[in-house]
Amino acid sequence: MSSILVSQDAGVLAITLNRPDKLNAFNPEMHQLLRAALAHAADEAAVRAVLLTGAGRAFSAGQDLSEREVAPGAAPIDLSVSLGSHYNPLIRRMRELPKPIVCAVNGVAAGAGANIALACDVVLAARSASFVQAFAKIGLIPDSGGTWLLPRLAGSARAMGLALLGDRISAEVAEKWGLIWKVVDDAQLMKEAFSISKRLSEGPTKGYGLLKKALNASAGNSLDAQLDLERDLQREAGHSEDYREGVAAFLQKRAPEFKGK
C-alpha cells in the first residue's frame, strides 16, 4: 500500500497521506512520495491547486516515533539530519509552490503533522479534528516551521502556551485563535475543501503564486521593503494574460476565463 495517494480532478491535485494504521505518521518513504507529488504539482501546468488531506481518523501524527527508539547506551539520533533532509525542504517547497495548497484536516494533527497542515495556504478542519504541538511531551521543540508560524498566526502568548503545554486544541479553538481558515462539519469537509480547491484552480494561477510570495515575505520585511516587493510583483502580475482577461471581463460585465498564465 502506497503511503501517499495522488489523484487529479480537473486542475486540482489531491494528495492523501495514507498510513492510517500509523495515524499517517511520517517515514522516509512518505516524505519521498510527498516530495515527488509536490514536484509534479509545481511542474505540471494543468495542476493549478493542491488539496492535502489524510486517510482514516488522523491528518498526521508527525514523525513516526517507532523509528526513533534508541537503545540504552547507544548514540543519540541526529535529528538535524531528518529536519535538514525531509521536514525543512518540505515546508520550503510548500511555501514556495507558486500554486495554492488547501489543507483538509480530517482528524488529529500532531507534531510535525500539525505544522505541515498550518503551513498550507487555506486550512479547513473537520469539527472533530484537533491540533497538538506534541513536541515538548517528548523533549523536542516545535519544528516544521512551528516556532515561526505559531507566534505569527496566534500571537506569542498562545504560541508559547501551545508549545510548552502540548495540549490538544479543538478545530474550533484553532479557528478562533486564527490558526486556520475555518471549521467545517465533518460530513462536509471534503466537499467544501474540493470546492475551494476547484475554485482556486480556475483562478489567476500566476497572480496567486505572486501573492503567496508577497504574503510569505511580509513577516521578515519592513513596510518599505514590502512596498518595493509589491511594486516588483505587481509589474509581473500586470504582464500576465490573466490580468488582461480579468480587466476585460470586468469591463464587459462577464465572468473571467483565467488560463493561469
What is the contact surface with ligand T3D in residues (CB under 6 A)?
A: 22-23, 25, 61-66, 68, 79, 82-83, 87, 108, 110-112, 132, 134-135, 138, 140, 143
Helix (H, G, I), strand (E, B) or coil at 130: strand
Tell me how far, at minimum, the Cβ of 206 lies from ligand T3D, in Å.
34
Residue position matching grid coordinates 534508541: 70
**Which CB atom, from 130 or from 201, has the smaller least distance to ligand T3D?**
130
Between strands 4-9 and 12-17, the pairing is antiparallel
Tell me how far, at minimum, the Cβ of 58 lies from ligand T3D, in Å.
6
Helix (H, G, I), strand (E, B) or coil at 243: helix
Tell me how far, at minimum, the Cβ of 179 lies from ligand T3D, in Å.
16
d(CA 15, CA 50): 7
**Which CB atom, from 49 or from 120, has the smaller least distance to ligand T3D?**
120
Tell me how far, at minimum, the Cβ of 90 lies from ligand T3D, in Å.
11
Residue position matching grid coordinates 498564465: 261
**Which CB atom, from 146 or from 207, has the smaller least distance to ligand T3D?**
146
Phi, psi of 23 (to 5 degrees): 50, 35
Across the beta sheet with 122-126, what order do the strands follow?
4-9, 12-17, 49-54, 101-105, 122-126, 182-184
Give residue number: closest CB to ligand T3D.
62
**Which CB atom, from 41 or from 61, has the smaller least distance to ligand T3D?**
61
**Which CB atom, from 63 or from 240, has the smaller least distance to ligand T3D?**
63
